[in-house]
Structure 1
């Protein structure tokens, strides 16, 4: 994981979060304007699911979406982040079962070279059957990552052929029309993520 890239990613998002903090008229029923309101994050893509089906961003129209970019061979950060994200989703589903049906968790690989539909499916299944894993051609992944302002780059290839992927870290909560709402604190705890879901998914 490239910590410089991670820092850069959140520095770019920080002004949006600070702007949201200026809104004092907030409450449990009226959380105020979403932190990422108006940000140019998200957009059309066409990828492939673990079952080999074509999936488009427009397929989720009318649903909230949790979107995380990572890769199946990630040795540390990705599995922990996705675990927290899906634990939070499970807790949210217990508290708000009907609203959870209107929320789709999505994992998009940044390593299409190794993350085939089968590999992505095995990775996402380890966390939850509700987590949709997506892969695609290098060009398709590049387009999706660019739409979400996600940085990624292939690291040095070792003698055994293995390598790491440098990529920005973060999970997005997107609205029913595909608009950005907030960054989910998957680096903190499931409870922190659940709190954000309860605040904005309504």
Structure 2
């Protein structure tokens, strides 16, 4: 993650961090057992968007109302981290589905591109299908992507040109949202499938 990306994310999550830190002394002094609360509870992350799927059909944030949602922003021409994150996320999700099929049936994994110039609906559909039939790929106009990224506290920008084409600089985060669309936690995709599976088991009810 670039310095710019980390700075952007820190700015968006700073209010939440202050709230969490403010509660630490009370938790430490209390004799009552600590209540397990979602780490992203109350964060201003997520919100309305209108994008399109592989068939160019409109999809909105409300399309997933009543379902848990895994959300990741990346791009299909990404040479390393995006496919690795998606692989570990979906393998972790698959393991979770084996153990908890009823709960997993209520979860929708979503991939949203930050590179609409190259990521057409067809390309996004082909790319996401490599990680399993449950992963939904979304794209849109540059304006629609910008609006969605802003709502989800995602920093991105076009990077330098390479022999294989330009790269995209973007925040590397896998979010988990509850059925009401509220942020719950960040899935540890960078720690592997087992860590993802454990986090899903912790929160998905």
- TM normalised by structure 1 equals 0.89
- Once the two structures are superposed, the pairs formed by residues 53-202 of structure 1 within 5 Å of their partners are 53-158=57-162, 162-202=165-205
Question: Is the Cα–Cα contact under 8 Å of residues 16 and 35 in structure 1 kept in the other structure?
Answer: no
User: What is the total number of aligned residue pairs between the two structures?
Assistant: 196
* Offset of residue 17 of structure 1: 6.6
Whichever structure has more helix as a proportion of its residues is 2
Larger Rg: 2
Deviation >6 Å, runs of 4+: none
* Offset of residue 156 of structure 1: 2.5
Question: Is the Cα–Cα contact under 8 Å of residues 42 and 179 in structure 1 kept in the other structure?
Answer: yes
RMSD: 2.1
Question: Is the Cα–Cα contact under 8 Å of residues 68 and 170 in structure 1 kept in the other structure?
Answer: yes
* Offset of residue 5 of structure 1: 3.8
User: Matched residues in 2 for 1:44 and 1:125: separation?
Assistant: 25
- Cα gap change, 1:15 to 1:188, in 2 (>3 Å): farther
User: Matched residues in 1 for 2:132 and 2:164: separation?
Assistant: 29
User: Matched residues in 2 for 1:178 and 1:5: separation?
Assistant: 27
- Alignment gaps of 5+ in structure 1: none
User: Aligned with 2:85: secondary structure?
Assistant: helix
Structure-2 residue corresponding to 1:8: 7
- TM normalised by structure 2 equals 0.88
User: Matched residues in 2 for 1:156 and 1:116: separation?
Assistant: 21
